[in-house]
A and B are shown apart, each in its own frame.
Chain A
Amino acid sequence: MIKIWLKGLSGLGSVLVAGLAVADELNMRPGVTEISREVYDLHMLIFWICVAIGVVVFGVIFWSLIHHRKSAGHEAAQFHESTRLEIGWTLVPTLILIAMAYPATKTLVQMYDTGGEDMTVEVRGYQWKWQYKYLDEDLNSTFDFFSNLATPRDEISNRAAKGEHYLLEVDNALRIPTNRKVRFLLTSEDVIHAWWVPDFGIKRDAIPGILNELWAIVPEPGVYRGQCTELCGKDHGFMPVVVQAMPEAEYDAWYAEQVTAAEQRKEALSKTFTAEELMAEGEAVYNTFCASCHMPNGKGVPPVFPALDGSAIATGPLEDHLDIIINGKAGSAMQAFGKQLDAAQIAAVTHYERHAWSNNTGDMVQPRDVIAQMSSEQ
């Protein structure tokens, strides 16, 4: 405990030093978009106005505290009103406020200049992840994916060293092209979330049943990180927003690739796979979505994350196994994958879990089984 406190004290020292050295760390980021820079300038303008007022007011107070004290022998004056002064310190602040309101209004009007966009992405908040849906020129939905926190649980529970982007990293970042006006349409599946990318200077609530919009033109390629900023339940602190801005040509290539892949996935839903295909695809899905808790060897981290190797669920009736993957398990870390993975992926990963390690149920799980199971629910 003492060590922690010592660390804290050294932290205090280092902050003071760091504070003097790099004022940047202490301040809002200017960001990369035109809007975010304007916001930053506005922030600095108001900050310095406040500092100026503060210097004057606190200066008068401290002058008074030093000179007008009884111990210094100062006799109290008895004045107690002055209409001129009162009018003065009502009018002057009003004028200062008007001076602030003017640029603020200008920036705000600019922020509301939606329309004329080059592309649209739908951003949908879930407890506790984001979904991004890409719309094509005719505004048809082409493909979508979920963006989950990628920080391993071991880092969160202090069993492993924390990485550089601790809690600000996701499995699939939202990708957008540079130099194009991207419009974001925000909604929510369940409770209110808020989508924020500090470097773009934009933040808006994602509200169930209500649509909101935002836009950004990002001039520089890069990875931009933010977080959900509206309390949305237990894992509110664990749903980061990560946006990767790519050079236009690179983005176009990626986009075309995704559209083709989405079409293939759609076809896969009606296909019958061989056991080998299921195992290969299943292993890939498993390593992406399941292995961080249940471990690549299927042993899990009991008692928090149960082992799948030899588990009653993974070797029991298929229906129960699918149910837990599709709907999750209430009150545990097991989330529902029904909306996040498509039927082919669920079929593959289920098949994999039933045949990997020492498990061998000998059955086959096809996409149509998953579709049938999902349809029979409720």
Chain B
Amino acid sequence: MSEVVVAHHDDHHDHGPDKGLARWLFTTNHKDIGTLYLWFSFTMFLIGGVMALIIRTELFQPGLQFIDPAFFNQMTTNHGLIMVFGAIMPAFVGLANWLVPMMVGAPDMALPRMNNLSFWILPFAFAMLISTLFMEGGGPNFGWTFYAPLSTTYAPDTVTYFIFGVHLMGASSIMGSINIIATILNMRAPGMTLMKMPLFVWTWLITAYLLLAVMPVLAGAVTMMLFDIHFGTSFFNAAGGGDPVMFQHIFWFFGHPEVYIMILPAFGIVSQIIPTFARKPLFGYDSMVYATASIAFLSFIVWAHHMFTVGMPLAGQLFFMYSTMLIAVPTGVKVFNWTATMWRGSMTFETPMLFAIAFVILFTIGGFSGLMLAITPVDYQYHDTYFVVAHFHYVLVPGALFSIIAAVYYWLPKWCGRMYDESLGKLHFWLSFIGVNVTFFPQHFSGLAGMPRRIPDYALQFADFNMVSSIGAFIFGFSQVFFLYVLIKTIRSGEPATDRVWEGAHGLEWTLPSPAPYHSFTTPPNVTDAEAHS
């Protein structure tokens, strides 16, 4: 993505990148690896998107038209796995690679060789996962949540590939997180104290700790599955004294923090972008940091709200209902802080700002449906219906994904030294905004009307909503192909960008030339009040 200019600093190991494929295979440069992560996640995003469109094509009308139910289940499962582990998470890691060293004034990531390894594991992991679709018996078909015994005793043979795929993805995430934490803790420029760090760095620091806490638990869960399937143990097999419900507890002990892993960096991005275009410092920096930390903490004690229908005792249901409702408080603080940042600012609406504002509004809508889902007695009616589908797509698509797109528009000029075409960017925004709402808003209605999720065919009363939803999905899908075009056009022939890029931008990365030199901050920069939170 970057057109690299060799930096001429007082750098004693001053050299540019290797040429050709070797540069990408053996690179230990944080910018190269960031670029690799971002392109990888975009590829996965398109593959997962094609699966989504296959699903929406089948659901366009009632009746079975294009695919059979068995393949439909493989599509929903792989769409979920690829979007979560292949698109959203690697995109955030890619952004962290590019931005964290530049934001804290470090020359590179703390562990550059491990950085290379943690990226290059991913293509293998996903090649393994996707290859199962072409194997006998088909790929994973038990939902991205892979509840036992559907994913153990009743799983297709390819489940073993899936398990190893998850192990590899987990290893990659863990290495990436260790690297990010070490960089943030050890490599900040003098004067860049913790409470002066940009919020993107803060949110990533907390996210990385979350990842280290829960990815090993996921690894444990799939290892237990592996043992149950191949070595005759009975962790989740009722016949041998195991418990299928325990699988859900372990999975969601990982799964709920995982949800925040996908949204905390998004909070960070939006907290960088809104002040820039409001030309006003972020409101309530300290409370933003504390709110992020409390959300991370709460994420460990709410997991069973995904399991309100398994038949927990009353006390358990009440505990998880109350703790889940509590999350609304720090999340609300964040939304209020962003609102207060915009209030009495001097706003302009370039593409990153449009995506950031859409994030705040649509994420809040997703938050509202989340609050409704937290209320246990009502959740019985929502549970496993399209209302849930609408809810988590609202927080993941106009939430996590919009923040990533906003980040790309915001920092792309710094990465490649060229400015994107503003009118194309705005067109992309409006297409995405309309597409996402047309797709997911009607799903609230089909869910409330009683349509279960993960079904390939549905009763007639859901037909209108599904048709609208499918049309929206195609609008959204094609607007992301358009995004690819905008990106390529920018990288190839965009107008040269200035160093500061945005009038209101603050932060160490904007003190570097555009494009950012291959090696930056080889001597620590001065952290002035203008470039750090003070």
The 8 A CB mask of A98-112 against B (1 = contact, 0 = none) is 001100110111011
Q: Does B63 contact A (CB under 8 A)?
A: yes
Known: A8-B471, A68-B343. A54 touches B63 (CB 8 A): no
Shortest B400–chain A CB gap in Å is: 20
Give the chain B neighbours of A75 by CB distance below 8 A.
346
Q: Which of A68-94 contact B (CB under 8 A)?
A: 68-71, 74-82, 85-86, 89-90, 93-94
Contact A76 B244 (CB under 8 A): no
Cβ-closest chain B residue relative to A29: B450
Contact B147 A192 (CB under 8 A): yes
Known: A101-B321, A168-B459, A226-B450. A26 touches B445 (CB 8 A): yes
Give the chain B neighbours of A61 by CB distance below 8 A.
339, 342, 357, 360-361
Contact B285 A81 (CB under 8 A): yes
Give the chain B neighbours of A231 by CB distance below 8 A.
73, 142-143, 147, 150, 454
Contact A212 B339 (CB under 8 A): no
Contact A76 B344 (CB under 8 A): yes
**Partner pick for A76 among B279, B321, B333, B450, CB 8 A cutoff:** B279
The 8 A CB mask of A45-69 against B (1 = contact, 0 = none) is 0110010011001101100110011
Shortest A301–chain B CB gap in Å is: 15
Give the chain A neighbours of B65 by CB distance below 8 A.
158
Shortest A17–chain B CB gap in Å is: 10
The 8 A CB mask of B156-186 against A (1 = contact, 0 = none) is 0000000000000000000000000000000
Contact A70 B347 (CB under 8 A): yes
Q: Does A11 contact B (CB under 8 A)?
A: yes
Q: Does B209 contact A (CB under 8 A)?
A: no
Give the chain A neighbours of B325 by CB distance below 8 A.
97, 100-101
Q: Does A357 contact B (CB under 8 A)?
A: no
Shortest A161–chain B CB gap in Å is: 10
Q: Does A139 contact B (CB under 8 A)?
A: no
Q: Does B522 contact A (CB under 8 A)?
A: no
Give the chain B neighbours of A322 by CB distance below 8 A.
none
Contact B468 A11 (CB under 8 A): yes
Q: Does B481 contact A (CB under 8 A)?
A: no
Cβ-closest chain B residue relative to A202: B380
Known: A15-B468, A167-B459. A64 touches B377 (CB 8 A): no
Contact B149 A190 (CB under 8 A): yes
Instruction: Say which size band chain A's interface belongs to.
Output: 35 or more
Give the chain B neighbours of A228 by CB distance below 8 A.
452
Q: Does A115 contact B (CB under 8 A)?
A: no
Q: Does A155 contact B (CB under 8 A)?
A: yes
**Partner pick for B340 among A7, A9, A85, CB 8 A cutoff:** A85
**Partner pick for B280 among A8, A78, A107, A203, CB 8 A cutoff:** A78
The 8 A CB mask of B437-455 against A (1 = contact, 0 = none) is 0100010010011101111
Contact A100 B149 (CB under 8 A): no
Complex-state Cα separation, A81 to B245, whole angstroms: 46
Complex-state Cα separation, A226 to B450, whole angstroms: 8
Give the chain B neighbours of A177 by CB distance below 8 A.
none
Shortest A224–chain B CB gap in Å is: 11
Contact A86 B311 (CB under 8 A): no
Give the chain A neighbours of B153 by CB distance below 8 A.
191
Shortest B297–chain A CB gap in Å is: 15
Give the chain B neighbours of A192 by CB distance below 8 A.
147, 149-150, 244
Q: Does A259 contact B (CB under 8 A)?
A: no
Complex-state Cα separation, A208 to B454, whole angstroms: 21
Q: Does A316 contact B (CB under 8 A)?
A: no
Cβ-closest chain A residue relative to B450: A198
Give the chain A neighbours of B243 by CB distance below 8 A.
209-210
Q: Does B336 contact A (CB under 8 A)?
A: yes
Known: A104-B375, A167-B459, A229-B385. A90 touches B333 (CB 8 A): yes
**Partner pick for A64 among B285, B310, B345, CB 8 A cutoff:** B345
Q: Does A237 contact B (CB under 8 A)?
A: yes
Give the chain A neighbours of B461 by CB distance below 8 A.
25
Contact B381 A39 (CB under 8 A): yes
Known: A69-B346, A230-B384. A209 touches B238 (CB 8 A): yes
Q: Does B329 contact A (CB under 8 A)?
A: yes
Q: Which one of B124-132, B191-199, B365-373 is at the interface?
A: B365-373
Residues in chain B within 8 A of chain A (CB atoms):
60-65, 69-70, 73, 141-143, 147, 149-150, 153-154, 238-239, 243-245, 278-287, 309-311, 314, 317-318, 321-322, 325-326, 328-329, 332-333, 335-336, 339-349, 357, 360-361, 364-365, 368, 371-372, 375-378, 380-381, 383-385, 438, 442, 445, 448-450, 452-461, 463-465, 467-468, 470-471
Pairs A–B under 8 Å by Cβ, sample size 15:
A11-B467, A38-B377, A39-B380, A54-B365, A57-B336, A64-B339, A80-B281, A82-B284, A85-B284, A89-B333, A108-B314, A156-B457, A158-B63, A205-B309, A207-B244
**4 tightest A-B CB contacts, nearest first:** A209-B238, A237-B455, A76-B346, A212-B311
